[in-house]
Amino acid sequence: MTVQWAGLSPELLLGLDRSSGEQLRVQVERQLRDAIRSGRLAADERLPSSRELARSLGLSRGLVQDCYAQLQAEGYLVTRVGSATRVAACAPLAAPVEPSTEDTAQPPRLIADFRHGVPDLASFPRADWLWAVREAARRMPTSDLDYGDPRGSLGLRRVVAAYLRRIRAAAAEPDRTLICSGYAQGLALALQGLARAGVRAVAHEDPGSPASTSAAVRAAGLTPVPVPVDPRGIDVAALEASGARAVIVTPAHQWPTGVLLAPERRHALLAWARRRDGYVIEDDYDAEFRYDREPVGSLQGLAADRVVSIGTVSKSLAPALRIGWLLSPAALTAPLTEAKRSADRGTPTLDQLALARLIESGRYDRHLRRMRTLYGARCRTLRAALSEHAPDVRLTGLAAGFHAVAHLPDGTDELAVITAARARRVGLYGMSAFRASGGTEPSQLVLGFGDVPERAIAEGIAAVGDLLGDVRMPKAGVRS
């Protein structure tokens, strides 16, 4: 679809060489002709008025009118009485680019796509967000339009700190709170700060997010070290043996196994950090959503001098907002601030002020209550569907968040199940992708239901239920 430019006369870049000896009219005609033939100016696209183009090029209006008339006669332009000059729908084009020989057919639409890490995008509170943006724009002083503090708006830092003290029992202070552009940037900043503090190796949970985490650690010039997770959380004894001086953990709802870091492990982890003069990076990624148990406080609230806590609104609102925060130990605040200044000078201020208004107004809490109800219903639907169609499959990790782990019967080929399910238009994802080794044993699936409606959950599980409990699934790529 052609863009329809608003305004009296859209601008157009043309360059004239007055020292070339080529007539100016010929130059204008040639450049307009080339712009149309190359597709730079699309069919039905509006051109500047002859008066405005003449003014911008320093030419007479009559010369531009003559150029337009010539190109109209050649079939490049069309002019209607009372309307702007436009590119003709049938204007001559340059030879088309040869189409790719690759298969460009769109894959069939899935019945259900159990992808993980995505909230219900349709439930984003658009009306509340628009209200918050208007309120922020109306109230913000002119000085807030400047670059400002790289740590972020003081207004949002105060609100976030107060919110985290209330909801997560965090030891949060505005001066040690930094606003960032989502978790990826928050992690990058934290790792840069650790590198400046002399850290050389950073441990991470296994299973976890080995590809993205290892890449981020290496980008900071550090060495990633996987450390195993068991049903009680990260293995602190293995962490001690790893030689790392920092570790990235998801203690409230381990990603992706869903286990809670046991109380004795929490204390052991913090004791390790003090003993090693090390640091813990706490990814508090979906702490707002709890169903089957009482919420647990953040690690940062127990050891503010040893824990960098990272949170975002990517799961509670939408990834598109790209707003997050770090709670920094005092010793790391200055290097983290400098790293943020070097990265981008600061996260967009108007969005920060809008989020502050959304939280202060109580509309954010109201949205979270609504989403807990919605995700709770989807969680129950997933349980019921598996109970009906794949009763041999055990489900864990459902106490919080919006993903679960399905434990397939011993001997089931995880990759074969995923491949066969895709053929039935259901997207499934294996735990092997989250293991540092890539191993497929034990066979497990990570089922995200945040952005999957209840009806799609039921239909998707019904479509693949027999696959999930079939230990005779052939190995991927092998005929049965």
Q: pLDDT value at position 97?
A: 55
Q: pLDDT value at position 374?
A: 95
Question: Does the domain spanning 124-365 belong to CATH 3.30.565.10?
Answer: no
Please report which confidence band the pLDDT of residue 9 belongs to, taking 50, 70 and 90 as the band edges.
low
Mean pLDDT of 8-31: 87
Structure tokens at 437: 């080794």
The residue with tokens 């693949």 is 464
Separation of alpha carbons 139 and 361, rounded Å: 14
Please report which confidence band the pLDDT of residue 343 belongs to, taking 50, 70 and 90 as the band edges.
very high
Q: Could you read off the pLDDT of 88-99 as tens digits, one per residue? A: 988 777 655 565
Identify which of 258, 323, 263 has the alpha carbon closest to the alpha carbon of residue 299.
263
Q: Could you read off the pLDDT of 54-87 as tens digits, one per residue? A: 999 999 999 999 999 999 999 999 987 777 888 9
Q: What residue segments make up the domains of the chain, in order of their start?
A: 1-100, 112-119+371-468, 124-365
Separation of alpha carbons 408 and 420, rounded Å: 15
Question: Does the domain spanning 1-100 belong to CATH 3.40.50.11540?
Answer: no
Q: pLDDT value at position 469?
A: 76
Partners of 446 in the beta sheet?
405
Question: The pTM is what?
Answer: 0.84
Separation of alpha carbons 26 and 453, rounded Å: 61
Q: Which CATH class is domain 112-119+371-468?
A: alpha beta
Separation of alpha carbons 307 and 314, rounded Å: 21
24-37 vs 61-73: helix crossing angle, rounded to 10: 40
Q: Is the peptide bond before 295 cis (omega within 30 degrees of 0)?
A: no
